[in-house]
Amino acid sequence: MTLTDTEISSTGMRLNLGPQHPSTHGVLRLLVELDGEVIHSCRPMIGYLHRGLEKMFEARPYRQTIPFTDRLDYLASLNCNLAISQAIERLGGVEVPERAQYIRVLLCELNRIASHLVFLGTFASDLGATTVFLYSFREREKVIDLLEAMTGARLTYNYIRPGGVPEDLPEGFAEGVRAFLDEFPRALDENDRLLTGNGIFRARLEGVGVISPEMAIAHGASGPVIRGSGVPYDIRRIAPYEVYDRMEFHVPAFAEGDCLARYRVRIEEMRQSARIITQCLREMPEGEIMTKMPKIFKPPVGEAYSRTESPRGELSVMMVSDGTPNPARVHVRAPSFVHLSLLPALLPGTKIADVVAILGSFDTVLGEVDR
Amino acid sequence: MTTLERESPLRAFFTVFGSFLQGMKVTVTNLVGRRKITVQYPYERLTVSPRYRGLFYLPYDEEAKRLKCTGCTLCVQACPTNVISLTKLGAGKHGGVSEFTMDLGRCMFCRLCIEACPFEAIYMGPSYTLASWDRNACVFPLEALAVGGKAAVEQNFETITAALAEEEAQKAAKAQAAGEKAEHAAKPAEPRPAAVNPEGNGAKAGPGVDGKNAEAPAVPRPATKEVSV
Amino acid sequence: MSVQTSQPARTAPGGQLVLGLILTLVLVGLVSALAYLPWYLLAPATKFIAAHPVLNAFLDALVVCAFIAAQCLFLIWLERKFAGWLQARLGPMHVGWKGTFQTVADAVKLLLKEDIIPTHADRPLFVIAPYLVFVPTVLAFMVLPFSLSWVGYDFGLSALFALSISTVAAMGILAAGWGSNNKYSLLGGVRAVAQLLSYEIPMVLVVLAVVMLADTLSLTQIVQRQAGLWNIAAQPLLMAPAFLIYFACSLAEVNRAPFDLPEAESELVGGFHTEYSGMRFAFFFLAEFANNFFSAGLAVVLFFGGWLGPGLPAPVWFTLKVLLLIGLMMWVRWTLPRLRIDQMMGFCWKLLVPLALALLCATALWLVKG
C-alpha cells in the first residue's frame, strides 16, 4: 500500500526559541511552528523583563526618573536619558545652554558607536564568527573608558539631566576622543575585510529577511531597520534636536532590505558618528553646562513629546504633567518593541538559522521592549 | 563590494575563496601583530577614572573635628530607590548625623545624592569590590562610609554633642537672663534624635540642581576596601 | 587628570608566538614521549607480549586509548590558547603554568558532575550514544600509522577500514539527538546525520584518487610510496585540489566551523549534546577531538608523507605534521562564520561531489596516459 499525501497527516513541531536562548538578545520568547527546518508561524511573547518602569515614573519627582531610563535601552542609555530629559524640558519650557547641547550630542554619538559595536560583536557571534565579538569589544572598551572618564559609569551613565549635563568634560577627554577616532577607521576597515566581504557571511545574509519599504513603513519601523529598506528616515534630519541641525553627516540607506543591508547601515553609521564627534569637539563653545532648575520642579499642566534617534530607531517619550512634582503619565515608545511586530509577518517561510540572523539584524534590546 | 549575483560560478568561487583567505589574514595579523588585551584580574587591576562611581564615602573635616554631613536629608529625598536612612543629631548650625546607613543592595549608583548635597559631604570613590555572600553585608553603616572609620564617627559624635550642649547652655543662659519665662522654655540637655524614615519619599519634592561642578574634595580617599563577610 | 589607558606592559606579540611555538614543540615531545614510553620501558616484556596475540592486541588498544586521552588533553588546551591568541586575549592562564592543567581541571569537574538523564528520554539510546560516537573513532586510530612499526593493526585494507568505521559515529549522533527527548537535540542530530553522510562522498572519492595513484589501500604502503616526495608535491595539480576537498570534508566530518551547525551554540544551544552533562558529555568532547586528530592524521598520511622526514624520529614527525594541520583547522574555525544547512548541502552536492568526480576522472586519465 502506498501512502499518498492525504493519508499522511503530520502536525508541525512547536518549538520555543527562548526565553533562555543564546541568540534572542535578551529574554524574548518566540513560539514557532516548524515543518522540519522551515517556519510556518511565529508568535513573539514578551514581558519577561517587565519591571513597571512607566508606573515607577509616576511615583517619583521628575529628576528621579532619569536613572531608570538607563535601564530601558541599556546599550544606548545616554540616548534614553536624553529622550526623557528633552520631554521634561519641553514641559517646563527650560532652555539648555549651547555647550551642554554639544556635550549631549557628543555623548550620544559615542554611545551610538558603543551600541553598534555590541551589535557587530553579537551579530557575528550569532552567525558563528566568534572572533569578531572579541575584536569589536576591544574597540568598545576604548569608548567605554572614555565615557567612564566623563560620567563615572560604564553602562548606565545617567548623565543627561533636564537643563543640561551635571559636569563638564574632564581634562584630557578631547585628546582621548581624538586618539580613539584616529584608530577607529582602521578597526572598521579590518572588520570589513574579515566579515563584510566574507563569502559565507554574505551567503547567510543576502536575501534573508527582506523587508519592503512599504512593509517597513506600515509596521512603524525606524532606525537601521527602515534605512536598510531604502527609506532615509532619520529623526536627526527630519526633526533635528539639540545641535544636530548644525552637524554635517550622511544618513546611510541601502535599498535591498535584507539583513546585510541593515548590517551595512550600522557599520556606515559608526563612521558618520565619528564625523559628528569630530565636529562637536571642534565647534563646542565655552559656557554654562546646566540651566538652573528649581528645587521642586512643577511644570505647568500639559503634555510633551520628545523624539530621538537611538541606535535602534526612533525612541520617543510622551510625558503628561498635571502640575504636581511627579509626572502624571510617561510612555516610552521603544523602537525594538515596534520592530518585534514585524516578526510574525517576516518569519514564515524562513529557516531557523535565518531567524537568528533576522533577530540579530533588528538588534532588539529587551529592556526597552518590556520596560 | 558588489553582490555575487550574475557572476560566473568560477569567478564566484575564486571571490569567495579569496574572501576566506583575506579573513584568515586578518585573524593571523591579530595573532602575531596585536597586543593581548587581557588584564588578569585579580593579579592585575585597571585603575578607574577619577569620576568613577564606586563605594560612597563621607569626608571628615580635620579642623572642625567632625563629619561634614549636617543631616539635612537632601540626599535621602533625592534618592530614587530609598537607599539612605539617617538619624539626625541635633539641628541647625551644629547639626549632624549619629547614624547614616546606606543599603547598597538597593543602590543604582546614579549619583543623584552626590549632586543633591550642598555641603560636599558625600562622594563616590573608586572602590568596586562590593560583592558579598550575605544581603546584610550590603548595608553599610556610618563607620564603613566615613573617612576615618569608627574613630571619626566617635569624634564626630563628641564634637557635635559638645557643640549642641554648648549651644543649649548659651540659650539657657540667655533665657535665664531674660527672667522666669526661660524656665518654661527650658529644653532637656540631651539632643533629640529625629529619625528620618525614607518612606514618604514620593511626596517630597526632589532637590533642584544649581549647576555646580561637584569636583572631588581635597580629603584623602579611603583605601580600596575588600568587603568580605 | 588625563584619561587613563588600560594597556599594561606585555611581551611583544611576535615574541609570544615564538615562545608559543617553542612551547608547543616541547609539549609535543613530552606528550609523545609519555604516550610512547611504555614501549621502551617494557622492552623485555615485548617478546612475551608478541608471543601472545590476544594480549598483544589488548595492549595495543590500551596504548591507543592512552595516547588518544593524552593528545585530547593537549589539543583542548591548544584550542583554547590558540583561540585566545587569535582573539587578542590570553586563554586559560590560571590553572597550572599558562593554563596547562586547565583540561585536567575540566575533566575532574566533569567527572564530579551529577549524571542527569532527562525524563521521558529514550534511556537505552541516550546511554549508548556517547559510546557509539567514541568507539568508532578509537577503532579508526587502530589503523593510523605513526611510523612503519607503530601501527595498531596494519593490514591491506586499512584506508577502507578507516573511512567506513568513522561513519558509524553518525549513528551515535542520531541516537543522542533522538534519545534526549529534546527538540533542539533532535534538530541537531538530524542535521548532523545529513551533513556527515553527505560529506562522506567527496571524501571517499578523493581518498580513492590517492589510493589509485598509490595503487594500494594500505595506509602504511601509501606513506612508503611517498618516500621520495610527498604526494602533494609529487603531483600538485591533482593532489592540491584533492587536499582542499579533503580538508573541507574533514571539517564537516568533525563538525567544525564553518560546518558546525549540528552543535551550533548560538542557534541550538548545544545541538545533539544539549542534554548531556558530566562524563557522557566528556565522551562526546573527547570523540570530537579524537576525530579531529584522526582526520588530520589521515590527511598527513595521504598527502604529506606520513611519518617521513629527516632527523627527528618518525612518530614525532607525524605528530608535528598533524598538529600543524590541526592548527590550520583551528585557524579556519575561528575565522569563518557558519553555513546554513541548505547552503552546506548545496556546497557538498553541487560543488564538492562534481569536483571530486572530476578529480577522480583526471587521476584515472593521468594514470592511463602516464
Out of B24, B33, B36, the one facing C331 most closely (by C-beta) is: B24
Digit-coded pLDDT (tens) for A330-343: 999 999 999 999 99
Instruction: Give Cβ neighbours of residue C43 (< 8 Å, ≥ 6 apart).
Output: none
- CA angle (A61, A64, A69) in 5-degree steps: 125
**What pLDDT score was predicted for residue B215?**
41
Nearest to A61 among B30, B53, B205 (CB): B205
Cross-chain Cβ contact C338/A37 below 8 Å: no
Interface touch C336/B34, C-beta < 8 Å: no
pLDDT value of position C256: 83
Facing residue for C10 by CB, picked from B26, B30, B36: B36
ipTM of the complex: 0.82
Chain C residues in contact with A149 (beta carbon < 8 A): 3-4
**Confidence check: pLDDT of B195 > 50:** no
Q: Which residue would you say has higher pLDDT here, C266 or A278?
A: A278
- Which chain C residues are within 8 Å of A352, Cβ to Cβ? 187, 267
User: Across chain A, what does the average pLDDT equal?
Assistant: 89
Mean pLDDT for the stretch of residues B29-58: 86
pTM of the predicted protein model? 0.85
Express each pLDDT in C278-292 by its tens digit: 888 888 888 888 999
C97 DSSP assignment: G
- Greater pLDDT, C29 or C148: C148
Q: Looking at residue C12, what is its pLDDT?
A: 58
Integer CA distances (angstroms), B168 to B72, B164, C213, in order: 20, 6, 110
Using a CB-CB cut-off of 8 Å, the residues of chain B touching C84 are: 36, 38
Q: Mind telling me how many Å the CA of A26 is from chain C's nearest CA?
A: 13
Q: Which of B122-126, B186-190, C98-102 has the highest mean pLDDT?
A: B122-126
Asked if residue C156 lies in contact with residue C211, where contact means CB atoms within 8 angstroms, the answer is no
pLDDT at residue A1 in the model: 45
Q: Please check the confidence at residue B101 and state whether its pLDDT lies above 50.
A: yes
* C83–B contact, CB cutoff 8 A: no
Going along chain A from its start, the domains and CATH numbers come out as: 52-365 (1.10.645.10)
Which of C17, C90, C332 has its CB closest to that of B32?
A: C17
Whether pLDDT at B227 is above 60: no
Instruction: Tell whether A23 is within 8 A of chain C (Cβ).
Output: yes
- pLDDT computed for residue C122 by the predictor: 83
Cβ separation C267–A353 shorter than 8 A: yes
Q: Are C143 and C153 in contact (CB under 8 A)?
A: yes
pLDDT digit string, tens, across residues A31-41: 888 887 788 88
Burial annotation C203-221 (CB, 10 A radius, 16+ → b, else e):
bbbbbbbbbebbebbbbbb
- Whether A268 and A191 have beta carbons less than 8 Å apart is answered as no
B38 touches chain C (CB under 8 A): yes
pLDDT average, residue stretch B206-217: 37
Residue A8's pLDDT is what? Answer: 56
- Please, which pLDDT band fits residue B212 given cuts at 50, 70 and 90? very low
Higher pLDDT, C160 or C189: C160
Please tell me the distance from the alpha carbon of residue B216 to that of residue C75, in angstroms, as a whole number.
52
CB contact under 8 A, C88 and B35: yes
Within an 8 Å CB–CB cutoff, is residue A58 touching chain B? no
∠ CA C136-C140-C141, rounded to 5°:
120
b/e map B40-52, b = 16+ CB within 10 Å: eeeeeeeebbbbb
Mean pLDDT of A223-244: 92
| pLDDT tier for residue C20 given thresholds of 50, 70 and 90 | low
Lowest mean pLDDT among A145-154, A260-269, B140-149: B140-149
Pick from A52-66, B1-15, B51-65: least confident: B1-15
pLDDT band, residue C37 (cuts 50/70/90): low
Q: What's the rounded mean pLDDT across residues C145-158?
A: 82
Q: Would you call A194 and B27 a contact, using CB atoms and an 8 Å cutoff?
A: yes
Q: Is the pLDDT of residue A5 over 60?
A: no
Half-sphere exposure of C51 (CA within 13 A, CB side): 4
Domains and CATH numbers, chain B: 56-202 (3.30.70.3270)
